[in-house]
């Protein structure tokens, strides 16, 4: 009865909550935090291997091994992000995750109304997050996270306090995992202007399963992005050996790409990746196509503790 009493309000919160208004702030909070996530099509809400689901669903924490990880991701037009996190055993029960993200949009030339150059300015996001999760039962885990995020645009600053709640079910006999999270809800402490702009909250549902007759983990995420616009992401990881992994992914975001239909645009949002395990150290590399716009590349190094 005690477990039911704890679980019920969280289920109700996740069930009735609706995603917040779409907005331009804090875009890095919607990205995968490592190359494994990018390589598997960003379908991470049910993933606990290598800490892939730490940001999207804190309930994946209890099943993750203790580790530290550094990730570097490059986007188009000199945009890059750096992510670092550590997952350790909690003093009493469960696991704790500490995460830091930095997203740099680069430097821009500032001009007056006549087009004369007056200087330059930079744009960047910085986020810190603390997560905690534990197993309610052998198969059901629960997690929560909270943190601070700040976005800087020259002399303007936007600040927010954000959190996430999640549930995670894992059946080790059938190798089936199901995750659901209410991701990035919170309050905007300060905006770039006086406008009341919503935080990027959304409900995410993820399912993953290791197939019985193939050495493949298949993962799918779904969520409502903005005003009845639904997004589905799918990815897979081929377990070629205990030391070598191949990954792939795609997304329905591909259909939102406008312009001339080229071969590059046809494979937009598709991803590929590899992983190598050298004892307790993992190296992961991933590439995501953006059509004619360019490519995202991501590299991670992980050490088990």
CA distance to 61, 261, 275, per residue, from 250 (Å):
25, 17, 18
Residues 207/220, Cβ–Cβ less than 8 Å: yes
Over residues 3-55, the pLDDT tens digits come to 333 343 333 333 333 333 434 557 677 889 999 999 999 999 999 999 999 99
User: What CA–CA distance (Å, rounded) separates 291 from 267?
Assistant: 7
pLDDT of residue 138: 94
Residue 247 in any domain: the answer is yes
The reported pLDDT for the residue numbered 254 is: 67
Is 162 contained in some domain?
Answer: yes
User: Number of folded domains in the chain?
Assistant: 1
Lowest-confidence pick of 41-50, 115-124, 152-161, 178-187? 115-124
Q: What is the mean pLDDT of residues 62-90?
A: 94
Is residue 223 included in any domain, yes or no? yes
Residue burial 38-50, b: 16+ Cβ < 10 Å; e: rest: bbbbbbbbbbbbb
Domain harbouring 287, CATH code: 2.40.160.60
| Closest CA relative to residue 99, chosen from 84, 113, 118 | 84
**pLDDT at position 21, please?**
40
Answer whether residue 26 is part of any domain: yes
74 in any annotated domain: yes
Is the pLDDT reported for residue 196 higher than 80? Answer: no
Better-predicted residue by pLDDT, 91 or 294? 91
Judging by beta carbons within 10 Å of its beta carbon (0-12, 13-18, 19+), is residue 32 exposed, middle or buried?
Answer: buried
pLDDT at 149 over 50: yes
Q: Is residue 10 part of a domain?
A: yes
Determine whether 198 is exposed, middle or buried from the number of CB atoms within 10 Å of its CB (0-12, 13-18, 19+): middle
**What residue numbers bound the domain in which 9 lies?**
2-110+120-304
Q: pTM, whole model, 2 decimals?
A: 0.86
| C-alpha distances in Å from residue 305, one per residue of 55, 65, 69, 71, 86 | 20, 8, 11, 17, 9
Mean pLDDT of the chain: 85
The pLDDT of residue 273:
97
199 occurs within a structural domain: yes
> Is the CB of residue 82 less than 8 Å from the CB of residue 116?
no
Domain contains 115: no
């Amino acid at each position: 009865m005690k477990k039911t009493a704890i679980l019920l309000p969280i289920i109700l919160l996740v069930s009735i909550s609706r995603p917040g208004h779409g907005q331009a702030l804090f875009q890095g909070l919607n990205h995968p935090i490592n190359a494994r996530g990018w390589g598997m099509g960003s379908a991470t809400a049910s993933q606990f291997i290598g800490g892939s689901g730490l940001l999207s669903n804190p309930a994946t924490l209890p099943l993750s091994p203790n580790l530290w990880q550094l990730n570097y991701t490059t986007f188009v037009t000199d945009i890059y992000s750096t992510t670092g996190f550590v997952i350790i055993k909690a003093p009493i029960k469960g696991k704790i995750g500490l995460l830091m993200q930095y997203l740099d949009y680069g430097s821009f030339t500032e001009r007056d109304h006549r087009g004369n150059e007056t200087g330059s300015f930079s744009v960047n996001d910085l986020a810190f997050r603390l997560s905690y999760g534990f197993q309610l039962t052998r198969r059901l885990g629960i997690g929560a996270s909270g943190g601070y995020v700040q976005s800087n645009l020259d002399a303007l600053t936007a600040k927010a306090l954000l959190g996430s709640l999640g549930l995670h079910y894992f059946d080790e006999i059938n190798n089936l995992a199901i995750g659901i999270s209410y991701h990035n809800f919170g309050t905007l402490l300060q905006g770039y202007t006086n406008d009341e702009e919503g935080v990027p909250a959304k409900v995410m549902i993820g399912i993953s399963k290791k197939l019985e007759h193939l050495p493949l983990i298949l993962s799918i995420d779904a969520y409502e992005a903005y005003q009845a616009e639904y997004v589905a992401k799918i990815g897979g990881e081929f377990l070629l050996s205990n030391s070598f992994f191949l990954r792939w992914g795609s997304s329905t975001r591909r259909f939102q790409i406008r312009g001339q239909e080229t071969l590059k645009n046809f494979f937009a949002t598709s991803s590929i990746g590899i992983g190598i395990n050298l004892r307790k150290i993992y190296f992961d590399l991933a590439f995501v196509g953006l059509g004619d716009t360019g490519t995202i590349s991501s590299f991670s190094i992980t050490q088990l503790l």
